Structure 1
Amino acid sequence: MPGEPFTATSADLPAVRGFLHRPPSPSPDGLVLTHGAGGNAGAPLLVDLATAFAASRMTVLRCDLPFRQAGLLLLSYPLHPPGRPGDLRTAHLPKLRGRIVFIHGTTDPFGSPEEIEAARALITAPTTLILTDGGHDLGYRKPRRDLIERIVAACASWRAPV
């Protein structure tokens, strides 16, 4: 698995364990990638994204603990349980700050493209939506360079000016 093992500890906070992906040359830009519910930092999509972001000159920490960030990359955000569109998980969305990129499958049972658009309208922060053919797995059963490149490009605005 690419990336070097990484652990950060603090007397007051839980340890953060994950993998650090370094760019070919030093960069002031950084990204923390975490998984969604039921996943872990070893998910193939996260591994490939971390590798691609590092190749584009960004230091990446791929880990199992969420952090505050300047941007949110929401992979297959579960708007509601499958088949229960009335049980929306959107109450917190108006409170989100920073730039937000949604990556969503066109046949995701956790929310249709139209439902994702309605959820985005609740957010005052800048948002981007990338739709991809697939369900909750984003159709990522094998590496898809095109999808990885679209995601990295959509998140480029998070970087500090050099």
Structure 2
Amino acid sequence: MDHVVTVETDAGAARLHWHRARNPRTVLALGHGAGGGIEARDLQALARTLPPEGVTVVLVEQPWRVAGKKLAPAPKTLDLAWRGLWPELRGPGLPVVAGGRSAGARVACRTARDLGARAVLALSFPLHPPGRPEKSRRDELLGAGVDTLVVQGGNDPFGKPEEFPGGDFALAEVPHADHGFKVPGRAGRTEEEVLGVLTDAVLEWTRSLR
């Protein structure tokens, strides 16, 4: 990690953890979920893997996490913070891909078009609450309005890959994985192998963006 920048937003102070590429072609900003922070395995794996391939990764801590709170605020507050820190992400003058895991993916989808994001990376998009498929958030995903990649665990209770609607987005499956990209021992896959599926899919997709 190169450095950490604190950015004041109308929702409080956010922190940006920059992992810079030597010769960057794009910036990938990743927000965390509602139940955890930037220590999530998928976010950390991307922060390690993508910078050597020309993608600067910024892990974004929402103000509620910076303030030490345990519960995420309403979606409109998450969006407010994301909008407030966006100018800092655009500072290097490179295309910015908005992304995140779970709740962070929803934020990216809701704001991408208005902020001028180049694309959206949605990790473990929570298509619906567990066991409540009728409470679909499909409109958020389909409304992103930019190139979108969803990376979803094959056994994610918030929406398995086969539950996703057709639409103008790409979907990569991580077989057997749950919402946190963990797989059961019987699957015979190491954590490194599982995260490799994820990072390979994201890297290939970023290379396709122009």
TM-score by structure 1 length? 0.78
Question: Match for residue 78 of structure 1?
Answer: 126
Q: 1:149 aligns with which of 197, 200, 203?
A: 200
Tell me whether 1:37 sits opposite 2:34 in the alignment. Answer: yes
Is the CA contact 2:7–2:13 (under 8 Å) kept in the aligned structure 1?
yes
Q: In 2, Cα distance between the equivalents of 1:21 and 1:99?
A: 23
Structure 1 gaps of 5+ residues are: none
Tell me whether 1:108 sits opposite 2:156 in the alignment. Answer: yes
Written as runs of structure 1 = structure 2, the 5 A alignment for 1:65-144 is 65=62, 66=82, 67=86, 68=112, 69-116=117-164, 118=165, 120-121=166-167, 126-133=168-175, 134-139=177-182, 142-143=191-192, 144=195
Is the CA contact 1:128–1:154 (under 8 Å) kept in the aligned structure 2?
no
User: Could you tell me how far 1:95 is from its partner in structure 2?
Assistant: 2.4
RMSD: 2.4
Q: In 2, Cα distance between the equivalents of 1:13 and 1:102?
A: 27
Is the CA contact 1:101–1:155 (under 8 Å) kept in the aligned structure 2?
no
Q: State the Cα deviation string for residues 75-113 of structure 1 (Å, max 9, x = none).
A: 111111111111112233342121111011111111122
Alignment length (residue pairs): 150
Aligned-residue sequence identity (percent) comes to 29
Between 1 and 2, higher relative CO (CA 8 Å, sep ≥ 6) is seen in: 1
Structure 2 gaps of 5+ residues are: 63-81, 87-111, 184-189
